[in-house]
Amino acid sequence: MIIAIDVGNTNVVIGGFEENELKWKWRISSHQERTPDEWWFFLKDIILTPPEGAIISSVVPGISKNLKLCFERHYSLTPVFLAPGIKTGLSILYDPPTAVGADRIANAVGGIKKYGAPLIIVDFGTAITFDVISEKKEYLGGLIFPGISTASEALFYRAAKLPKVEFGLPSGTIGRNTISSIRNGIFLGFKAMVDGIIREIKEELGEARAIGTGGEGEEISTSSEEIEVYDGDLTLIGLKHIYELNS
């Protein structure tokens, strides 16, 4: 079994692959204070057979270090890290190429492998990222926008009289009370933003498939007029393919 781990600012997503099939996936909160032994205490209950290898993409260095120590100490293997210099099969035209987040590279690789190119990948996480891949499988760049939870929490903390509202599908367009006004505004506002940006990208790039992914993306992706499909496993699929290229 190959273990693929995507470490984000809000969540850590862990998947186990046998051959090319994702057998299981877990999502837990990101805590930098979690020690290598605490990671093992969690992982031993989900990794039931000794792994052949592991690959990690991370935007949180402290978690990366403890996961590396966990695998070395308890599984006798050193994980592959998605970092500058690793083979991805992707031509990166970003300036500089090393500035692209590891999760965005994994998304691009996973998207090309599963859906081909050109592509627009929208990842709904702590930030919403738009990644643009050309027909020649070149990573061209993209956009970064505050994530749904990030923006919602900012509204709650900055507006004294507004309550914290759980994100969800709106009942309509016009809110009839404060709760529905906030919920509708957040959902429809982000949906309009996503569809609008994808259209702008298509005007510049030409036609391309738009794929949604990320922990907060399913509801907006399925309601979007521009996103064709939601694929919550895209990052892990990309990591597994990158592991194969480097093993």
Is the residue at 63 inside a domain? Answer: yes
Same domain, 117 and 202: yes
Fill in the amino acid letter for 64: S
Last residue of a domain, one of 23, 57, 81: 81
The whole domain housing 117 covers 91-239
CA distances (Å), 224 to each of 24, 42, 67, 114, 123, in order? Answer: 27, 36, 36, 20, 14
Is the residue at 246 inside a domain? Answer: no
Q: Is 123 a catalytic residue?
A: no
Q: What is the DSSP string of 79-143?
A: PEE--TTS--S-EE-SSSGGGS-HHHHHHHHHHHHHH-SSEEEEEESSEEEEEEE-TTSEEEEEE
Give SS3 for 162.
Answer: coil
Q: Are 103 and 57 in contact (CB under 8 A)?
A: yes
Question: Which residue out of 6, 95, 103, 131 is catalytically annotated?
Answer: 103
Same domain, 112 and 216: yes
pTM of structure: 0.92
Same domain, 213 and 174: yes
CA distances (Å), 70 to each of 14, 24, 114, in order? Answer: 14, 20, 31
Same domain, 189 and 123: yes
Last residue of a domain, one of 56, 81, 106: 81
Distance CA 67, CA 216 (A): 24
Same domain, 195 and 99: yes
Query: Digits of tens for pLDDT over the chain (247 positions)?
Result: 999 999 998 899 999 999 889 999 999 999 989 999 999 999 999 999 899 999 999 999 999 999 999 999 999 999 999 998 899 999 999 999 999 999 999 999 999 999 999 999 999 999 999 999 999 999 999 999 999 999 888 888 888 778 888 888 888 899 888 888 888 899 999 999 999 999 999 999 999 999 999 999 999 999 999 999 999 999 999 999 999 999 8
Last residue of a domain, one of 63, 81, 99: 81
Is the residue at 247 inside a domain? Answer: no
Distance CA 214, CA 128 (A): 9
Residue 40 is part of a domain; what is its CATH number? 3.30.420.40
